[in-house]
Amino acid sequence: MMDYNNVENIDDDEFLTNYSPKNKAEEHLFKALNLMKAELFQAAMVEFHQACQLNPQEIVPLAKKIYTEKIKLQQYEAALVVGVLLLSLDDTDYILATELAGYARKNNDYMQATSLYRKALTIDPNYMLALCNLGASLEKVPYYDQDAILAYKYFNNTDFIFPEYLVLSEDGKYEFDNGYIDSITSKTIEYLTQKQEEKYNKNLAIASKVGVSKEIGTSVANTWQTKKSFSKRDLTPTNYKQYLDHLSANDHELQDICNYNIILLYLKENVNILALGERVVLLTKKLETTKKELPHFDILAGLYYARIGQSDKAINIFFNVLKKDRFDRYANANLGLICRKVGRMQQSARYLIFAYYLYRRALNSFNINNLIIQARIKFSSRVFRVAKGYFMILIEEGYAEVEDYISCVQCWDFEKNTDKAIEIIQQCIAKFPESESAKITLSDFYDVLLARADTLLLENNRERMAFDLYKKAYILDHRLDLIKKLLVIMRKIKKLSDDEKKFRVHLKTELNNMLSSVPSIGNEIIQNRKENTEDRRIEYLKKAKKLIRENKYLPAVAFLESAFRIKNDQATYSILSNLYKALGNHDDLEKLNKRQPTIINR
């Protein structure tokens, strides 16, 4: 057998061409290399294993050499095959097991990666590299090696991650305000001062009734009045609790929020935790009975039980939160922290690393509302590429509202990615089937695609591009007039693919079904009147102006462009150029200016 110990690079083709097997081990080796070349990796592993059993002294060093070479070439799937073979020969090599798990992750084989990481941890439970990579692998987070360790260590000096205080907005909705306690400090001081004044006057009156001189009576009253005034540094959680209880005593709408904020304050300060028990239990039962949702209250309940040492109960609460919403940042972070405290290290790594990943993608915040706010701000500021990224996160995690889907559609359309825009519209309709806004967006975008396609037909040799846009519109809605246009334009296209021919047959069948069910429609199509281009231009302008009034600038641009291509008039050019400037779309503005220099110079 060839001596590979002094060979720097292994060339599979050279080896397979110039050397013939001399024994059974070499036969299996040749088969393995051929199978790897054909990317039949599982079969190759079997052949490698048999070769090693027959001649381990020569095959094993060769396998190590091949393994190293495949890594250099970034052929990770092939490296994984040989590496797993080497690991089977020395199943105590936890460093190799961890390395191989990383290659499995790069091949999106998370099941094998998880198995290999756990094998490494079985050998050395304290191997941090395997632990942190396992956590990242379990949640399919793109952190590897040192990045995974840094993500896990981010929480090293953290007790718990607390949600923000709640307030009630003017329209009766819950809002988050982390500065809430500071905002009520002056009111708390005012309330406590008033209570002390009342106590002072009451004790003075008692002293005068029993015949004590005024001087002595004042002294007696002062022994009861610890302070006539307070400053912020004097206040304790109990003082805030007194004011909040007073505030909500006669206002049932505020009681839940005040109880929530009292619980949160005590948990943060870690004082008198046992005194919270009754409030936590009563509020839990009330919310379960009324089916009312108090944002993040489950998080507070879990933290309460963690504070009093009932870790199993706390863990179960957080698991239940994640069953409903696996992206809940507070639940992931706190579950990971509690698991670390009780020694459940693999679960700890999993949830802490995922929490860190979610925290980073939400602009370094555990509160998803901050991401929602920023997404909408960036969109209204016309920073569409940034806004699009934020909206896609909200859609993926299930936090996007109808307006966020609609904004995301416009962002993708701005980047001229029609396919992605259609995909987001379909997702929006699927999630909010009764939403009028979603239906209007679908209809508007359908019209935009038709306008663009109609415009392309006015230019020479643009039938194929127009056809592609009509097909995309067909995805959104199977309207009769669109089916007619598709069939007409397909007759003009010289070469249709087999799939397109099948699509034409499908369209003819659909058209016949429509005509047979509604005969009167057939008469309209038979007339087949040529559309008046001027009427069409006016219709485009009407739609564009309506969309501009609704602040839907991106779809308005499509109709203006269509109208402008039909007739190069100054008014349309002015509106269109101003829109491009407002949207920051300098490329299209430049193209517009080049297209109509005569208009600009007038």
| pLDDT tens digits, 340-349 | 999 999 999 9
Look at residue 299 in the predicted model and tell me its pLDDT. Answer: 96
SS3 (DSSP) at 175: strand
Q: Is the pTM of this model over 0.75?
A: yes
Mean pLDDT of 252-274: 91
Higher pLDDT, 518 or 154: 154
Q: What is the mean pLDDT of the chain?
A: 84
Out of 48-52, 187-191, 246-250, 303-307, least confident range: 48-52
pLDDT of residue 305: 96
Longest CA–CA span in the chain (Å) reads: 122
Task: Report the candidate in 492, 562, 479, 488 with the shortest Cα–Cα distance to residue 528.
Answer: 488
Given a cut of 50, whether residue 364 has pLDDT beyond it is: yes
Residue 545 scores a pLDDT above 90: no
**Which of 68-82, 309-323, 578-592 has the highest mean predicted lDDT (pLDDT)?**
309-323
Separation CA 563–CA 579 (nearest Å): 15
2 pLDDT exceeds 50? no
Q: Is the pLDDT of residue 220 over 70?
A: no
pLDDT value for 413? 92
Mean predicted confidence (pLDDT) in 198-218:
65
Can you say whether the dihedral through the CA atoms of 470, 475, 480, 483 is positive or negative?
positive
**In this structure, what is the dihedral angle of CA atoms 214, 220, 221, 222, given to the nearest 10 degrees?**
110
Decide: 354 and 329 in contact? Cβ < 8 Å: no
Average pLDDT (283-297) is 89
Let me know: does 135 contact 105? Beta carbons within 8 Å.
no
pLDDT at 538 over 80: yes
The gap from C-alpha 536 to its chain's centroid, in whole angstroms, comes to 41
Query: Of the candidates 1, 35, 5, which has an alpha carbon nearest to the alpha carbon of residue 18?
Result: 1
pLDDT at residue 228, as a whole number: 54
| Token output for 541 | 């302008």
Given a cut of 90, whether residue 569 has pLDDT beyond it is no
| Tens-place pLDDT, residues 460-506 | 678 889 899 999 999 999 988 889 889 988 888 888 889 989 999 99
Strand, coil or helix: 174: strand
User: Which candidate, 492, 495, 493, 496, places its Cα nearest to that of 505?
Assistant: 496
SS3 readout for 145-171:
CHHHHHHHHCCCCCCCCCCCCEEECCC
For position 266, what pLDDT does the model report?
Answer: 94
**Residue 394: CB atoms within 10 Å:** 21
Q: What is the pLDDT of residues 131-142, one digit of tens each?
A: 999 999 999 999
Beta strands in 239-388 (DSSP E): none
Q: Which amino acid is at 522?
A: G
pLDDT value at residue 576: 83
- The pLDDT of residue 385 is 94
pLDDT at 229: 62
Nearest to 65 by CA among 18, 134, 8: 8
Which residue in this structure is represented by tokens 């005593």? 249
Place of tokens 């995301």: 408
pLDDT at 161: 97
**Could you please report the per-residue DSSP string of 67-124?**
HHHHHHTT-HHHHHHHHHHHHHH-TT-HHHHHHHHHHHHHTT-HHHHHHHHHHHHHH-
Highest averaged pLDDT of the listed ranges 83-87, 315-319, 554-558, 572-576: 315-319
Using CA atoms, how far apart are residues 410 and 393, in angstroms rounded to an integer?
16
Q: Is 596 helix (H, G, I), strand (E, B) or coil?
A: coil
In total, the chain counts a number of residues equal to 602
Alpha-carbon separation of residue 475 from 274, 451, 466, 471 (angstroms): 59, 16, 15, 7
pLDDT, residue 44, reads 76
| Lookup: tokens for 135 | 């956590």
Residue 518 confidence (pLDDT): 58
pLDDT at 574: 84
pLDDT digits (tens, 9 = 90+) for 400-448: 999 999 999 999 999 999 999 999 999 999 999 999 999 989 988 998 8
C-beta of residue 345 within 8 angstroms of C-beta of residue 339: yes
* Confidence at residue 222, expressed as pLDDT on a 0 to 100 scale: 57
Average pLDDT for 533-537 = 78
Query: How many helices (H) and strands (E) are present in the chain, helices listed first?
Result: 33, 2
How many CB atoms are located within 10 Å of the residue 549 CB? 9
282: its two tokens: 């009563």
Tokens found for residue 586:
């300098």
> How many Å apart are CA 361 and CA 370, to the nearest integer?
11
- 430's enclosing H/E stretch is helix 418-431
- Quote the tokens at residue 66: 């091949």
Highest mean pLDDT out of 76-90, 173-187, 266-280, 307-321: 307-321
Per-residue model confidence (pLDDT) at position 531: 52
Write the CB contacts of 536 (distance below 8 Å, at least 6 apart in sequence).
454, 566
